[in-house]
Amino acid sequence: MTTDNPASSIRSRISGRVVPVRGDDIDTDRIIPARYLRTVTFDGLGEHVFEDDRASSSHVFDDANYAGATVLVANENFGCGSSREHAPQALLRWGIQVFVAESFAEIFFGNCVSLGLPCMKAEAADVDRLMAAIEADPTLEVDCDIAAQQVHFGSDHIPAVVPASSRQQLLEGSWDALGQLMDEPSAIEAAASRLPYINGF
């Protein structure tokens, strides 16, 4: 098993320990409360991740067993609500490099792809099995294989889908879309000139 070179933008394989975040519909206000959006950078967001949830009850992000985890496993509709990129930025700065969940909210998913953070989708029963294995042994290392769309843990593994376009971007290291978007300015101008509200009605 080889993991990606951290200096490379290719995301084909990410290994590490897991933090299981149980519950559906975990919104981005919970991931990073709005008061921390009063900033002109993304620096320092990692220390405030899930801050209010952590203050209200015991939370996996405060559990020493999960310190240093790089894989976040969640249930349905993870990252719903506000479009704030501060949410994946905060999780990235805490140390998360890959997400495995039953499903993701769309804007959160897009933000993750823009940051080179793979989002892998797995069946509910498989997510549950993975979470249970981690809760039984938090030291368990998992291997997220983006190319093969599988997550291996111990002697077990689960299928985990990475939708085709994002998989391609992660595997070829083209998840920072701006380079490609600026490749052909003449094509952009041609498209604009076909639009009556730009070129005149």
* Residues making contact with other proteins (CB under 8 A): 23-25, 27, 29-30, 33-35, 37-42, 51-53, 55-56, 76-77, 80-86, 88, 103-107, 110-111, 114-115, 163-166, 168-169, 172, 174, 176-178, 180-182, 184, 187-188, 190-192, 194-198, 200-201
- Residue 119's CB: how many other CB atoms inside 10 A? 27
Bridge partners of 144? Answer: 14, 151
CB 101, CB 74: distance < 8 Å: yes
Which lies closer to other proteins via its Cβ, residue 132 or residue 198?
A: 198
Smallest gap, in angstroms, from Cβ of residue 45 to other proteins?
Answer: 11
Which lies closer to other proteins via its Cβ, residue 155 or residue 197?
A: 197
Q: Which residues contact 175 (CB under 8 A, 6 or more apart)?
A: 9, 11, 113, 114, 115, 116, 166, 169
Our CA dihedral for 92, 98, 100, 101, rounded to 10 degrees, sits at 30
* Separation CA 125–CA 169 (nearest Å): 28
Which lies closer to other proteins via its Cβ, residue 136 or residue 182?
A: 182
Q: Is 99 exposed, middle or buried (0-12, 13-18, 19+ CB in 10 A)?
A: buried
Smallest gap, in angstroms, from Cβ of residue 150 to other proteins?
Answer: 21
Amino acid identity for residue 71 in this structure: V
Helix, strand, coil in percent for the chain, rounding step 5: 40, 20, 40
Smallest gap, in angstroms, from Cβ of residue 154 to other proteins?
Answer: 27
Smallest gap, in angstroms, from Cβ of residue 46 to other proteins?
Answer: 15
Which lies closer to other proteins via its Cβ, residue 106 or residue 137?
A: 106
Which lies closer to other proteins via its Cβ, residue 52 or residue 137?
A: 52
Which lies closer to other proteins via its Cβ, residue 104 or residue 153?
A: 104
CB 140, CB 68: distance < 8 Å: no
